Amino acid sequence: MTSPYPNTIVGLLRIALGFTLFWAFLDKLFGLGFATQADKSWLDGTSPTAGFLGNAVSGPFAEYFRSLAGSAVVDWLFMLGLALIGLSLIFGVAMKIAGYSGALLMLLMWLALLPPKNNPILDEHIIYLLTFLFFARAPEVGDYLGLGKPWKKWKLIKKNSWLQ
């Protein structure tokens, strides 16, 4: 992009989306009292996926997603996904991995809520999914207000472009 303004906006979008995911991780881990009450935190022994997957899912895949509720493997994958994708976006590193992983996470969340409540096809999960795919296909977005440039100079990253 030739003007610095779109670059700044893309950088801020990346950071904001990253913070959204990382905040969800922190709230579920510690029970900060926003979406997760203190006595329902992961550290307090409550599954971070049991509430959503056990009660909020709907549509043709609901039974499958309900069967995953409270699974330790699903809990760990979900929480690691929130934390690592969020941090990757905040810092602007590993954009390909974060982009594709974030897109998969959003697709799964969209499938768990079919049909969306306010629109028969689209909801925020699809908008986030498309944003994640943009980040994955344009890893230079990590350069804007991020550490993408120095990250891509490391030998390991140069040798393995999928780590960009």
Give dist(CA 15, CA 38) in Å, integer.
26
Are 46 and 17 in contact, with CB atoms under 8 Å apart?
A: no
**Is 48 within a domain?**
yes
Q: Does residue 1 form part of some domain?
A: no
Residue 2 counted as domain residue: no
For residue 34, give both structure tokens: 């926003």
pLDDT at residue 118, rounded to an integer = 87
The answer to whether position 132 is within a domain reads yes
Q: What is the pLDDT along the chain (164 residues), one digit of tens a residue?
A: 567 789 999 999 999 999 999 999 999 999 999 999 999 999 999 999 999 999 999 999 999 999 999 999 999 999 999 999 999 999 999 999 999 999 999 999 999 999 888 888 899 999 999 999 999 999 899 999 999 999 999 999 888 888 88
Tell me whether residue 24 is in a domain: yes
Q: Does 52 map to a domain?
A: yes
Number of domains in the chain: 1
Q: Which of 145, 130, 153, 54 is nearest to 92 (CA)?
A: 145
**Cα 144 → chain centroid:** 19
- Examine residue 116 and state whether it is found in any structural domain, yes or no: yes
Inside any domain, residue 115:
yes
What sign for the dihedral angle of Cα 122, 128, 132, 135? positive
Three-state DSSP class for residue 58: strand
Domain span at residue 52 reads 8-163
pTM for the full model? 0.93
